Structure 1
Amino acid sequence: MEFSQDIVIYLIGLATTAGTIIARISALEKKVEKHNSVVERTYVLEEKMKVANHRIDDLEEAKHNG
């Protein structure tokens, strides 16, 4: 009888641990998604800045060349 109780207690503990791990993985997935979104937006902003800087350079060159 004691052996079966130990198994039940062990399984309950195992299920609790598994639930905690799953919850933490889920939270990490959300953080990774958020991070990836920031990286993607940063890339887009960098590309827009390159274009804007190129346009500024063109305007300055046109101004100097008259």
Structure 2
Amino acid sequence: MTTEFWIQMIVYAVSLGSFGGMVITKLNNLEKKQDKHNGLMERMVVVEQSVKSAHHRIDEIKEEYHEN
């Protein structure tokens, strides 16, 4: 095995390591974005429940107003 072969193997290994590092970095960024999205969805569920409750209270107030 010649020196050229080993140099080529080292270049391939460095290239593969660089590509792997880039993929891992991109995956980490996607995980962060997914976490932000999940947090938003959890907050939206709470907001929807609050709005539903507010609508029920408004309906009750309207009913009381119309009864009087």
TM range (shorter): over 0.9
The structure 1 residue matched to 2:45, chosen from 43, 46, 50, is 43
Equivalenced residues, count: 66
- Unpaired runs of at least 5, structure 2: none
Pairwise CA RMSD: 0.5
Residue aligning to 1:3: 5
- The TM-score, its normalising length taken from structure 2, stands at 0.94
* Segments of 4+ moved more than 3 angstroms: none
For residues 1-66 of structure 1, what are the structure 2 equivalents within 5 Å? Answer: 1-66=3-68
- The TM-score, its normalising length taken from structure 1, stands at 0.97
